[in-house]
Amino acid sequence: MIELLRQMMKMPVAVFVSSFEMLAKAMREMQHGYERGVDVAVAGGIGPLVEQAQQTLEASLDVSHSEESIADKEKDNMVDQDLGGDDLKLVRIRILFTKRDDEKILHYEEDLINYNTTPADFGGLRTCEYIKHHPGVVSAGDEKYLTTFVEVLARYPKQEKEYDKEQVQVLREIRDRI
């Protein structure tokens, strides 16, 4: 019984010392890995090591992780909401009512925009026009539940201005008459 009591009293100290030994071992392994990395970087550069690690990762996952493929995947998943620029934009807009237990799409349309704007400005304009033409659809105080979703479906370049060419033609005719 006394032997058991003596071992129980030693146990916390033994566990404490053992955990420090494990910590010291982990620190030695980190130091060894760091030194090996520095040796590789100084001796032959780190490029081959990174390429080897990437090849190993791609082989194990059977996936390519190039920056280009990741950017393409992200671009494919994103909705185009940029209404900037002077090109023509085919736009889909939805005016939503988001009050709890009464969620619905109030208005849905597609439009062609030929000017530079922002999704917030365009959505606000269309929401105001909708409320103006459909009074009573939204109760007073419920305006805060209105939101818009704007999506650019396609972009088209603007055609050249024809009146510049017409103006030049008229000026040539005047010149010829003089």
Per-residue pLDDT reduced to its tens digit, 81-107? 788 888 899 999 999 999 999 999 999
Per-residue pLDDT reduced to its tens digit, 135-147? 888 888 888 999 9
Helices (H), the chain: 2-44, 47-61, 67-77, 119-133, 162-177
Compare 168 and 47 and report the one with higher pLDDT. 168
Q: Pull the structure tokens for residue 100.
A: 């709890």
Compare 39 and 82 and report the one with higher pLDDT. 82
Average of per-residue pLDDT across 32-58: 66
Can you give the residue ranges of every domain in the chain? 2-45, 80-178
Flag whether pLDDT at 56 surpasses 80: no
Residue 103 phi/psi, 5° resolution?
A: -70, 135
Half-sphere exposure of 172 (CA within 13 A, CB side): 6
How high is the pLDDT of residue 5?
Answer: 76
